[in-house]
Structure 1
């Protein structure tokens, strides 16, 4: 049994950190786009808009019912064969598309549940004083639903950061892709993968700390 090469692991940290911005960029872009799409889907589900509600249910069912890796392959390898203009799509764009659509399906249901969880008496009171549905959602429902949904949405963002590791299957040299290349060159696979595991762990712990701070801040008004 050979000894671990801790020196190699220490040398690997600064190398891998150079690829961290791309990982965070893909996760950040995916989260913003997924949040916008999820809010739209959730509102459609809550209002049960004719036609659109059925399409929304189909969208959510498909993207929750198929693996993210399959979806990434569809966007990167499959769709360009059907739509010529998608032949120019690169791995980063395909990854962001996959993350956006996959996680928006989950987030939509969480946001819908948060909206439904707002006390109905408040919505009835708002409507009784003449608020429109748009004003009701913007001023009463969404601010309270945000507090309810934040823990779940932050967990999805954490999952999204870890899911960017699949981008290396599309040829993207992000954190996981760089680790794979370094491991293949040194043959020190265990050291390489335990190093990247520590990096992901550190990122997740930092986000978990930020989540606790945000939850505490949003809950201040309810503790008084």
Structure 2
């Protein structure tokens, strides 16, 4: 174990971590937004759209995230579509992670929505609330509280999933560790430091999850 090398590369890998975190946070915002839309449409069983979204969820849950990334970056990038032809690796990773994780989050939210008793909606109807008010003020807040642990796990998966970005040249944490290993042949030390940083990020996310759960459970 080359401790001198470890001390030397820690600042370099920490600097690269900002790209890992930005990828995860941006993908989380997009994927959660998509998941809320998808789960609500499936929950209310909207005709025509629901079967299409079920296929979407099945595809992105049933295929590897790396394969999806390659389809978006190399596949769509070579089809002559202006947006995808000019797309950067960073953008491709955000799109791939967002689409992939939105499918998992949508299933988690759908299950959470189903856990809310129908009587809650009926009570809302009885006092004259609209369907939108019932969903946004009654059903979704209760479902979200149930879904928090699984959504937090999804965020952890996004952080770890961002490591595949180095396969298309995005300079995030894994790419930085890989380049440091190639330059010095100290692969074990480089990936060991990267693993510790990923672990610390995960611990922080789990801590925030517990704080959020505690806050949401105060009324219960």
Match of 1:72?
69
Q: What are the Cα deviations for residues 50-71 of structure 1, in whole angstroms up to 9, with x where unaligned?
A: 1100100110011001000000
Separation in 2, partners of 1:163, 1:125? 42
1:58-207 correspondence runs (5 A): 58-85=55-82, 86-207=84-205
Separation in 2, partners of 1:100, 1:6? 37
Normalised by the length of structure 2, the TM-score is 0.98
Match of 1:33?
30
Q: What are the Cα deviations for residues 99-125 of structure 1, in whole angstroms up to 9, with x where unaligned?
A: 000000010011111111112211111
Match of 1:11?
8
Aligned-pair CA distance for 1:157: 0.2
CA contact (8 A) 2:79 2:85 kept: no
- 2:219 is aligned with 1:221: yes
Match of 1:52?
49
User: Paired residues, what number?
Assistant: 219
Computed over aligned residues only, the root mean square deviation of the Cα atoms, in angstroms, reads 0.8
Aligned-pair CA distance for 1:91: 0.5
Separation in 2, partners of 1:29, 1:209? 20
List gaps (5 residues or longer) in structure 1.
Answer: none
Q: What are the Cα deviations for residues 35-92 of structure 1, in whole angstroms up to 9, with x where unaligned?
A: 0000000011111111100100110011001000000001100012224211100110
- In the TM superposition, structure 1's runs of 4+ consecutive aligned residues that sit over 6 Å from their partners are none
Normalised by the length of structure 1, the TM-score is 0.96
